[in-house]
Amino acid sequence: MFSFAYQFSKPILWGWIFFIVLGSLSIWLANYWLGISTAIELRKISRERLSLYDATLLGELDKYRYLPFVLSGNEDVKELLTSFRRDPFFANKVSKYLAEMNNKAEANVLYIMDKKGSTLASSNWQDKTSFVGHNYSFRPYFQDAIEGREGRFFAIGTISGIPGFFMSHPVYEDSSIIGVAVVKVNLTPLQQQWNDGGENVFITDENSVIFLASKKDWLYKSLRRIPLEQLQKLQQIKQYGTSNFDILDINHVSVPGDLATEIEGRRYLETTQEIANTNWKIHYLVSINSITENQRTIVAIGIGVVVILLVLALFIRERRQKVISTRRALEAEKMEDMNRQLEIEIEERRRTEKELRAAQDGLVQAGKLAALGQMSAAIAYEINQPIAAIQNDVSNCVSYLKNQNDQQLNNSLNEISSLTEKMGMITAQLKNFARKSSMKTRPVDIVKAINRAGYLMQPVFNTQAVRLEINIASKTILVSGDEIRLEQVFVNLYRNAIDAMKTTQGEKVITINTSVTGQQVNVTVSDTGTGLEEHVVKKLYDPFFTTKLNSESLGLGLSITYGIIKDLKGEIQASNNPDGGACFVLSFPHYIEK
Ligand code: ADP
């Protein structure tokens, strides 16, 4: 599994917050929309149901509406109402007729009242709760009929205690009212039907008293407080028996997109409709449980989706993180490998460099030896001369000694001394030249190196009739280096110049010019030799490149020179003089003493 212990960067944290807010908003909107749409749907269904119940109720009442009218036209009824004797047998006969009618019509009770409201005949004349002999003049339906109108009234029976709808019609005899015919319709089965159907329906009268309800508990309760005057009137006409007209525990609460009615703690959507030709109102209640259930479902689904998306996002993030860390680990491993490889390569390079340096030192040494070889003839000549002179002087000294010529002896000994000194200088220089360099750098006077190289090469210059012309910018010019190696550079350049001038006619001159420009020391070595051919310039510094055919020329001179100059952080450039001969320009960083 994955861990949630993430370190979120700021943009990612905002992304999560945005996602959660958006998710919550979507759930809330879906919840609201579902509430509205379910309420609209329920309202539609409620209206349809309401119309149906209204029609059923009216149909039920209309079914019996004709009965009082039919009774009012019956001759026996009229005779009963007009006879003074009030014959009980005749009254029973009429009651029997009424009972038959009632059976056929399936009404509740049919009865006839005289002008004063006393019941003369009734379909229930044989029952314990017979209406016969009772006076109902206080009932509004009687009062309506006696005044020539059709009466309509819902009330609880004063004797039977059974609620019913009373419909009355006046009975005429020669256009004067002699009594009233009444049918009582029992609406209890209708209530039962509603109850059986699991519906919540009730009907209120003009006082907002519930007189028909699918729930018995609601019966004869009022939706609002009844004014005292009205209450007294209700008690007087005994419409709802001894009812207290308690107020139904009813509240109105708002739900998404609608207003719900809360009755005894339960919430309903209430739809009402006036019942035609009455002061009644039919109320249809549908539980909003389905709304809340749907909403709960959608909220649960929404939360589930958001949570799944969150978990999925975290999972994807975790996977990505893993891929990234694996990739990073691989990259780190690769880097480590590369580093190791690099270290090996650096080590290799160092070793090669060391070897190269050793090889170069070897080459310098070889070059020196080659130069020594080449120079040996000239040196031998140069040394032979003083030796011959010394021999001569020595023999002269012997004769001076014999003749006691002290002055001459002294002169000869002085000459011998100066000749040996010269020879000593030559050999000392050669020793110096042949010695291996220490590789250590220190401030060195380049003018000295130029002169010493000239001095070293002097015997060769003499034999080859070469003139060395040195033009120096100042007495000492310091560069950072090693004097032996620097000397070697000039010896090599002089040697090459001498070789290049061997075959040329005219004066053989090597000209040295030094200059100091800012931080740089420049030395030009030019000769009056053959100059450099183009193909030679390209390979000039290549080791073992030579155009000379003699066995002493190894082709190492310039490559060694180049290496030394580079070691001293200098540059060398070769070109030809405009009036012939080669010209080498050397430049070194100027060493300035602090
Ligand atoms: P080597 O002197 O043994 O030939 P170098 O490396 O010193 O080797 O010189 C390489 C070549 O450069 C020489 O063979 C020669 O052809 C050319 N060269 C060097 N210096 C001069 C010069 N001053 N004038 C003409 N050619 C030169």
Say which DSSP state 226 is in: P
Ligand 1 within 6 A of CB of 581: no
Which residue type does 440 have? K
Are both 401 and 468 inside the same structural domain?
no
Q: Are 255 and 267 in contact (CB under 8 A)?
A: yes
Confidence of residue 299 (pLDDT cuts 50, 70, 90): confident
Ligand 1 within 6 A of CB of 529: yes
Cα 401 to Cα 386, 408, 437, distances in angstroms: 21, 9, 47
Q: Are 223 and 217 in contact (CB under 8 A)?
A: no
Ligand 1 within 6 A of CB of 582: yes
Are both 360 and 450 inside the same structural domain?
no
Say which DSSP state 279 is in: S
The protein residue with its alpha carbon nearest to ligand 1, atom 12, reads 540
Q: Are 170 and 71 in contact (CB under 8 A)?
A: no
For the chain, give the percent of residues with pLDDT over 90: 40
Spell out the alpha helix ranges (H) of 178-276: 188-196, 228-236
Ligand 1 midpoint to CA 470 (Å)? 21
Ligand 1 within 6 A of CB of 532: yes
Ligand 1 within 6 A of CB of 482: no
Q: Which residue has the tokens 């009442």?
A: 61
For the chain, give the percent of residues with pLDDT over 70: 91
The string of pLDDT tens digits covering residues 443-474 is 999 999 999 999 989 989 999 999 999 999 88
| Domain end marker among 186, 212, 232 | 186
Confidence of residue 161 (pLDDT cuts 50, 70, 90): confident
List of E strands, 116-233:
119-122, 151-156, 163-173, 176-185, 200-204, 210-213
> Which CATH number characterizes residue 483's domain?
3.30.565.10
Q: Are 213 and 191 in contact (CB under 8 A)?
A: yes
Are both 348 and 389 inside the same structural domain?
yes
The string of pLDDT tens digits covering residues 567-584 is 889 999 999 999 999 999
| Domain end marker among 161, 186, 211 | 186
pTM for this entry: 0.49
Q: Which residue has the tokens 């009254």?
A: 91
Are both 338 and 462 inside the same structural domain?
no
Ligand 1 within 6 A of CB of 456: no
Identify the domain containing residue 543 by its residue range. Answer: 437-589
CA distance 114 to 390: 194
In a domain? residue 15: no
Q: What does the pLDDT read at residue 86?
A: 74
Q: Are 84 and 101 in contact (CB under 8 A)?
A: no
Report the atom number in ligand 1 closest to the C-alpha of 557.
Answer: 7
Ligand 1 within 6 A of CB of 548: yes
Ligand 1 within 6 A of CB of 547: yes
Instruction: Give every strand in the sheet of 571-576, ordered side by side.
Output: 466-471, 508-517, 520-527, 582-589, 571-576
Q: Are 573 and 585 in contact (CB under 8 A)?
A: yes
Across the strands, what pairs with 180?
113, 170
The string of pLDDT tens digits covering residues 304-321 is 888 898 889 889 989 999
Residue with the bigger pLDDT between 84 and 299: it is 299
In a domain? residue 502: yes
Ligand 1 within 6 A of CB of 504: no
* Contacts (Cβ under 8 Å, ≥6 apart) of 505: none
Ligand 1 within 6 A of CB of 466: no
**Number of structural domains, the chain?**
3
| Domain end marker among 186, 219, 249 | 186
Across the range 117-129, mean pLDDT stands at 92
Q: Are 443 and 478 in contact (CB under 8 A)?
A: yes
Asked whether the predicted pLDDT for residue 3 surpasses 50, the reply is no
Torsion of CA 155, 160, 164, 165, to 10 degrees: -70
Ligand 1 midpoint to CA 546 (Å)? 6
- Helix/strand/coil for 227: coil
Select from 546, 565, 583, 585 the residue to mutate for testing ligand 1; criterion: most ligand atoms less than 8 Å from CB.
Answer: 546
Across the strands, what pairs with 200?
285
Are both 467 and 378 inside the same structural domain?
no
Select from 541, 558, 572, 575 the residue to mutate for testing ligand 1; criterion: most ligand atoms less than 8 Å from CB.
Answer: 558
Report the atom number in ligand 1 closest to the C-alpha of 370.
Answer: 3
Select from 360, 489, 496, 550 the residue to mutate for testing ligand 1; criterion: most ligand atoms less than 8 Å from CB.
Answer: 496
Are both 576 and 441 inside the same structural domain?
yes
In a domain? residue 272: no
Q: Are 443 and 435 in contact (CB under 8 A)?
A: no
The string of pLDDT tens digits covering residues 555-568 is 778 888 888 898 88
Ligand 1 within 6 A of CB of 540: yes
CA distance 388 to 372: 22
Q: What does the pLDDT read at residue 4?
A: 46
